[in-house]
Amino acid sequence: MNKPATTMINGFDASRLSSLPERERSMIERRQAMLGPSYRLFYENPLHLVRGEGVWLYDPDGNAYLDTYNNVPSVGHCHPRVVAAIAEQAAVLNTHTRYLDEKILDYSEKLLSTFPDEMNRVMYCCTGSEAVDLAMRLACYYTGGTGIIITENAYHGTTAAAAAISPSLGPNMPLGMHVITVPAPDAYRADGKDVGETFAQEVSKAIAFMLRHGIKPAAFIADSIFSTDGIYSEPAGFLKKTLEVVHEAGALYIADEVQPGFGRTGSHMWGFMRHGIVPDIAVMGKPMGNGLPIAAAVMKGEVQERFGKDIRYFNTFGANHVSIAAANAVLDVIRDEDLMGNALSTGNYMLDGMRKLQQDFDCIGDVRGAGLFLGLEFVKARQSRAPDGPRSLVVVNRMRERRVLISAAGIHGNTLKIRPPLPFGKDHADIFLKVLEEVLHETR
């Protein structure tokens, strides 16, 4: 059962407005009047937040909510080192990249040192959507092609070009004329087949379809953990064959690292590294600056060279001094606080805890993920593995009422999407696991 076109997973139903307290009802009415219907809210009872600190968020009444979902404040809400870097730079200078400055060069060297040697160029913008848009421009210019391959429930952004490769936005958002979708690499339903081989075959079929219709392939793009498809992380290395297929067709591989990047998977700085591959382009977004508007595309030099010579690129706010200062602080915090190590150890701890729950609750079909990017899939019956989206949403909203924030993913909305800020520790994991177990008992 696909989600209705007019809704989103874990979205507030505006028809319930009259059931809310006056304070929240009034805010939502003002919001609807001025921002319009495109802006959606999470949860059956929308959350009003006024402050954040670390992995905690607070409402106007001082109630604390454990954030198990938000990846954008990657090193934690309002991290003091990031806040200080922003304030210090804002008091000195904030302008664009058409003036010489050491800070962008120093940060670029630091950022590129985290990538394979072949990926030695970086271009800056403000959002992940812009970075995806730029990556597709680069791929089309380099290859001379127009065909783009994506997964069936992908999300890559909100610009016209990025939305056109984001089927998770719903059936009312048309895909591009030269965009072809392939099934996500679902190892849980692979029935013993090699998921890497199967996925590569699907990509190969998509390429053949394009060529049969006179479309030259330009790029395959995927986020390296298939987040909106349902969080498919295993086995590590399964994307190697797909990379080969894409390159054999003369197309480029674009790794969307907006969600799995910056150490979130624990074992590697970038999600594609878990698979032992080197993409042609990688894109990143606002977790880069802990929520400030900074994003980038990193690519192989040859991919950017002719584009750079032939086409002028400039982004007024991209890589401004304040955003670069925030991004630099984020890299320092990830290193100094060993947040990759924390993501790996806490993530494994959470996986173990959820697998113990899986033994007691038949509704849990699969538990998967890497580092602090995890998924727990609900099914109607383990034997059939039929997705149970309604149960997932009940769990999400019951946990919200207990002040633990989570959301859901997947084409059926049946997978809990667990993606907290990187300082999320084992003591926080214990709170999450305890509340999850309580809710599962209640909803049996």
- For every residue of 341-371, DSSP letters joined together read HHHHHHHHHHHHHHHHHHHH-TTEEEEEEET
Task: Return the SS3 of 57.
Answer: strand
User: What is the predicted pLDDT for the residue at 92?
Assistant: 98
C-alpha dihedral, 226 to 231 to 234 to 239, nearest 10°: 0
Residues in the chain: 444
pLDDT at 2 over 80: no
| Tokens (6 digits) for 36 | 């319009």
pTM for this one? 0.94
Q: What is the pLDDT of residues 422-442, one digit of tens each?
A: 999 999 999 999 999 999 999
Q: What is the pLDDT of residues 311-355, one digit of tens each?
A: 999 899 999 999 999 999 999 999 999 999 999 999 999 999 999
> Are the beta carbons of 286 and 317 closer than 8 angstroms?
no
> Are the beta carbons of 66 and 59 closer than 8 angstroms?
no
Beta-strand ranges (E) seen in 29-155 are: 51-53, 56-58, 64-67, 119-125, 147-151
Q: Give residue 9's pLDDT band: very low, low, confident or very high (50, 70, 90).
A: confident
Indicate the angle between helix axes 339-360 and 426-442, nearest 10 degrees. Answer: 20
Q: How far is CA 82 from CA 125, 277, 296, 300, 364, in A?
A: 19, 31, 19, 29, 38
Q: How far apart are CA 266 and CA 250, in angstroms?
A: 32
pLDDT at 6 over 50: no
C-alpha dihedral, 135 to 136 to 139 to 142, nearest 10°: -100
Q: What is the DSSP code (8-state) at residue 413?
A: S
Q: How far apart are CA 378 and CA 381, in angstroms?
A: 9
User: What is the predicted pLDDT for the residue at 7?
Assistant: 56
Q: Which of 199, 207, 194 is nearest to 226 (CA)?
A: 199
Q: Say yes or no: domain 49-77+339-443 is CATH 3.40.920.10.
A: no
Question: To which residue do tokens 């070009």 refer?
Answer: 161
Cβ partners under 8 Å of residue 407, min gap 6: 9, 10, 42, 69, 396, 416, 417
Long-range contacts, stretch 210-216, CB < 8 angstroms, 24+ apart: 210/147, 210/178, 210/180, 211/249, 215/145, 215/146, 215/147, 215/178, 216/143, 216/144, 216/145, 216/146, 216/147, 216/250
> Are the beta carbons of 21 and 60 closer than 8 angstroms?
no
Domain locations in the chain as residue ranges:
49-77+339-443, 80-337
Q: How far apart are CA 33 and CA 25, in angstroms?
A: 12
Q: How far apart are CA 170 and CA 184, in angstroms?
A: 17
Q: What is the pLDDT of residues 256-315, one digit of tens each?
A: 999 999 999 999 999 999 999 999 999 999 999 999 999 999 999 999 999 999 999 989
Residue environment code for 233-251, b if the CB has 16+ CB neighbours within 10 A, otherwise e: beeeebbebbbebbeebeb
> What single letter denotes the amino acid at residue 70?
N
Record: fold of 80-337: Aspartate Aminotransferase; domain 2 (3.40.640)
